[in-house]
């Protein structure tokens, strides 16, 4: 086990052992991570490559064997969607008729948006989804689609008033119930800024790149837009939270472009990962010296 992995393990033992409330959360527990990967497939042969990263994000419903992924000391987070539920989710049939299960996400037609203010939503997420995702040798959760809930309130302030505050309450309760679980939120920056002792890290997709779902095409984000997104993350860095970036590019794009994306991210103090939009293959670009 390398020095970085030993330091991470020590930080987790010291920081997580006595935690009993959100205020005790070890918000620096991921500070030693230098590489990370997001992989939403289950090929067993991918485990060897995944084990080379400090931090691995996996689908709790289908993934390579945990022992093989963690054999060199990698931390593992499993995916949980906060603001949406996919039609392929094992729980979907049981909740599809609930009033808090809303219309589809236009970008992902198989995903239904959720009203995070509903008591039924909170019970379902905290009593069923989170415990299932944390089963096994898992170190925490990768919390996605927070922005869906925030966007609902922003676009329809009357219809979804209080969604942001409700999401915050859910996250506080999640941490209270699972004080040893690391929580990385993907997006949801306003929530992360208000909960720096609950959230352990922040991720953001597509700072310098973008993906056109209608055209199914990879894009380069305009420089002014990219700078605005990077500055938003700088506010999170100022709180002391580790920041992880996820950029998308086609698999056959030459190595210089991923290398440039990695350079830009690291220059800002972020931890980068570059992959294809499907996140179903392991990209080793960030493992290069």
Residue 75 lies in a domain: yes
Q: How many domains does the chain have?
A: 1
Q: What is the pLDDT of residues 1-49, one digit of tens each?
A: 443 443 344 344 333 333 333 333 444 678 889 999 999 999 999 999 9
Angstrom distance (rounded) from CA 153 to CA 150? 5
Alpha helices in the chain (DSSP H): 3-16, 47-50, 66-69, 92-95, 119-124, 130-133, 146-155, 163-177, 189-194, 223-238, 256-267
Report pLDDT digits (tens) over 177-193: 999 999 999 999 999 99
Using 50, 70 and 90 to split pLDDT, how confident is the model at 289?
low
- Note whether residue 275 is domain-resident: no
Identify any residues that bridge with 76 across adjacent strands, giving them in sequence order: 56
User: What pLDDT, on the 0 to 100 scale, is given for residue 136?
Assistant: 93
Average pLDDT, rounded, for the chain: 90
Range of the domain at 114: 3-15+24-253
Give the model confidence (pLDDT) of 272-288 as tens digits.
999 999 999 999 999 97
What are 125-161's pLDDT values in tens digits? 999 999 999 999 999 999 999 999 999 999 999 999 9
In a domain, 277, yes or no: no
- 98 within domain boundaries: yes
Is residue 268, in this structure, part of any structural domain at all?
Answer: no
Do residues 113 and 156 lie in contact, with contact meaning Cβ atoms separated by under 8 Å?
no
- Region for residue 231 given its phi and psi (left: phi exceeds 0; alpha: psi -120 to 50; beta: otherwise): alpha
Question: Which CATH number goes with the domain that contains 131?
Answer: 3.20.20.70
pLDDT digits (tens, 9 = 90+) for 214-223: 898 999 999 9
Residue 276 maps to a domain: no
Residue at 11 is within a domain: yes
pTM of the complete model: 0.89
Residue 286 lies in a domain: no
91-112 pLDDT tens trace: 999 999 999 999 999 888 899 9
pLDDT tens string 237-247: 999 999 999 99
């Amino acid at each position: 086990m390398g020095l970085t992995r030993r330091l991470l393990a020590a930080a987790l033992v010291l920081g997580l052992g006595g935690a009993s409330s959100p205020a005790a959360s070890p918000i620096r527990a991921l500070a030693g991570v230098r590489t990370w990967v997001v992989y939403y497939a289950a090929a067993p042969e991918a485990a060897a490559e995944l084990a080379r990263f400090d931090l691995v994000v996996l689908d709790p419903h289908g993934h390579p064997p945990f022992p093989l992924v963690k054999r060199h000391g990698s931390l593992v987070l499993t995916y949980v969607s906060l603001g949406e539920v996919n039609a392929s989710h094992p729980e979907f049939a049981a909740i599809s008729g609930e009033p808090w299960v809303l219309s589809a996400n236009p970008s992902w037609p198989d995903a239904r948006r959720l009203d995070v203010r509903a008591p039924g939503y909170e019970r379902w997420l905290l009593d069923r989804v989170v415990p299932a995702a944390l089963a096994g040798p898992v170190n925490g959760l990768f919390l996605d689609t927070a922005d869906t809930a925030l966007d609902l309130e922003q676009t329809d302030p009357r219809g979804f008033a209080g969604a942001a505050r409700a999401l915050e309450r859910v996250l506080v309760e999640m941490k209270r119930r699972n004080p040893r679980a690391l929580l990385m939120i993907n997006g949801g920056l306003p929530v992360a800024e208000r909960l720096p002792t609950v959230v352990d890290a922040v991720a953001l997709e597509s700072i310098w790149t973008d993906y056109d779902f209608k055209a199914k095409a990879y894009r380069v984000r305009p420089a002014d837009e990219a700078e605005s997104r990077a500055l938003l993350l700088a506010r999170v860095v100022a709180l002391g939270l580790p920041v992880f970036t996820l950029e998308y590019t086609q698999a056959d794009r030459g190595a210089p472009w991923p290398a440039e994306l990695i350079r830009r991210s690291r220059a800002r103090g972020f931890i980068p990962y570059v992959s294809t939009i499907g996140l179903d293959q392991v990209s080793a670009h960030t493992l290069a010296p």
